[in-house]
């Protein structure tokens, strides 16, 4: 084998032996770079006679050409090989189940609001909200509770400094959302309004801030039967019981007529409360037919439209459903409590997926 053939063979072997793009680049420089073997060999042509220069020059140029082609081919092969290796190492199996989330739980108040919303959404209700800081008109007057009305005292209202008129307050219930919704739109309505409410009251069963879910329906020919059916259906789904004893007990609210309180049948023993059986009753919400004066206050003709409304306490429902014994613990921000009573963020309540 001539020197030229040997140079050619050695160069091609070296290229073939490269196992990475980096090694190939090194090899390219070693062969074709400024001080590379082939470049050096070409430089010697100046010192040989014309005849040799012609044949040797042609042979060296051919080698250079072959090497360039071999390098390009090897480069392409290594590139796809390296890409495939990288893709394989970075592969994510999106069909694997999600990693259980170790930290962070959904608070029972949020969970129960989601559950209630999922149930009423199925019954055609949509969610509305209103501000926590309300005025006297939305919280009381428009709801048929005039200034001198004794019902105002029952509400233990937190009044704010506001503009000094004593008319700004923290809403004592979610019922002002009824007024806001009816004044902003046109009937029919089928609304659910969850949110925080405030009363100046603090003992084992009361916290100054708590949550309510308000619901109301305004349409034509709505009667108490619709209210009853709606509430019973809700309670059955919420407590996941086929049969819940429910009692509608006559009551009074200035903004509904007639008014009722809803009790759910339960059994109280020493340290347990069981929903759906036994001979005890537990009050869980207030409700009634929307008072004609409330409709009038919102520019709705009570001869044409009627409806019902209800309001329930979220913490109480959460305590009953999930066996949480003490209301005050809801707002103590104790991470151990939340870890125990909280919910998996990936479990979003729905009627198909489960509440």
**What span, in angstroms and rounded, lies between the C-alpha atoms of 130 and 278?**
39
CB of 129 to ligand PHE, least distance (A): 15
CB of 96 to ligand PHE, least distance (A): 47
CB of 130 to ligand PHE, least distance (A): 13
With H, G, I as helix, E, B as strand and everything else as coil, classify residue 203: strand
CB of 253 to ligand PHE, least distance (A): 4
Tell which residue, 345, 325, 346, 329, has the closest CA to residue 337.
Answer: 329
Q: Which is nearer to ligand PHE, 238 or 253 (CB)?
A: 253
Number of residue whose CB is nearest ligand PHE: 311
**What span, in angstroms and rounded, lies between the C-alpha atoms of 13 and 280?**
93
Can you list the alpha helix ranges (DSSP code H) found in 44-193?
Answer: 50-89, 108-122, 136-139, 151-154, 176-184
Q: Which is nearer to ligand PHE, 27 or 212 (CB)?
A: 212
Whether residue 178 contacts residue 190, with contact meaning beta carbons closer than 8 Å, is answered with no
DSSP conformational letter for 90:
T
CB of 329 to ligand PHE, least distance (A): 22
Q: Which is nearer to ligand PHE, 78 or 123 (CB)?
A: 123
**Given the rule CB under 6 A, which residues bind ligand PHE?**
173, 175, 214, 253, 256, 286-288, 309-311
Q: Which is nearer to ligand PHE, 71 or 261 (CB)?
A: 261
Q: Which is nearer to ligand PHE, 74 or 211 (CB)?
A: 211
Q: Supply 202's token pair.
A: 């603090």
With H, G, I as helix, E, B as strand and everything else as coil, classify residue 38: helix
Torsion of CA 219, 223, 225, 231, to 10 degrees: 50
Which residues, in sequence order, are bridge partners of residue 288?
259, 309
CB of 178 to ligand PHE, least distance (A): 7
Which residues, in sequence order, are bridge partners of residue 280?
266
Which residues, in sequence order, are bridge partners of residue 86?
none
């Amino acid at each position: 084998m001539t020197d030229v053939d040997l140079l050619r063979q050695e160069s091609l072997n070296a290229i073939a032996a490269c196992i990475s793009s980096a090694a190939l680049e090194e090899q390219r420089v070693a062969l074709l770079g400024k001080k590379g073997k082939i470049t050096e060999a070409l430089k010697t042509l100046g010192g040989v006679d014309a005849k040799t220069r012609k044949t040797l020059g042609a042979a060296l140029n051919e080698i250079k050409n072959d090497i360039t082609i071999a390098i390009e081919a090897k480069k392409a092969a290594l590139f796809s090989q390296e890409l495939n290796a990288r893709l394989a190492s970075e592969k994510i199996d999106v069909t694997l189940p999600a990693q259980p989330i170790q930290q962070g739980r959904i608070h029972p108040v949020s969970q129960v609001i989601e559950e209630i919303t999922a149930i009423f959404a199925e019954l055609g209700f949509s969610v509305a909200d209103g501000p926590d800081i309300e005025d006297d008109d939305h919280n009381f007057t428009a709801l048929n509770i005039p200034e001198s009305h004794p019902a105002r005292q029952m509400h233990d209202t937190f009044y704010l400094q506001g503009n000094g008129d004593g008319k700004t307050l923290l809403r004592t219930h979610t019922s002002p959302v009824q007024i806001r919704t009816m004044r902003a739109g046109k009937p029919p309505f089928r609304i659910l309004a969850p949110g925080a409410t405030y009363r100046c009251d603090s003992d084992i069963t009361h916290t100054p801030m708590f949550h309510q879910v308000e619901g109301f329906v305004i349409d034509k020919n709505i009667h108490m039967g619709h209210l009853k059916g709606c509430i019973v259906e809700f309670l059955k789904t919420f407590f996941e019981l086929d049969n819940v004893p429910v009692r509608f007990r006559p009551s009074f609210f200035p903004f509904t007529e007639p008014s009722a309180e809803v009790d759910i049948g339960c059994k109280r023993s020493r340290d347990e409360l069981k929903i759906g059986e036994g001979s005890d009753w537990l009050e869980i919400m207030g409700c009634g037919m929307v008072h004609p004066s409330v409709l009038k206050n919102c520019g709705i003709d009570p001869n044409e439209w009627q409806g019902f409304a209800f309001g329930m306490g979220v913490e109480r429902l959460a305590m009953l459903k999930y066996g949480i014994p003490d209301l005050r613990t809801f707002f103590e921000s104790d991470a151990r409590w939340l870890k125990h009573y909280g919910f998996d963020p990936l479990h979003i309540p729905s009627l198909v997926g489960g509440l």
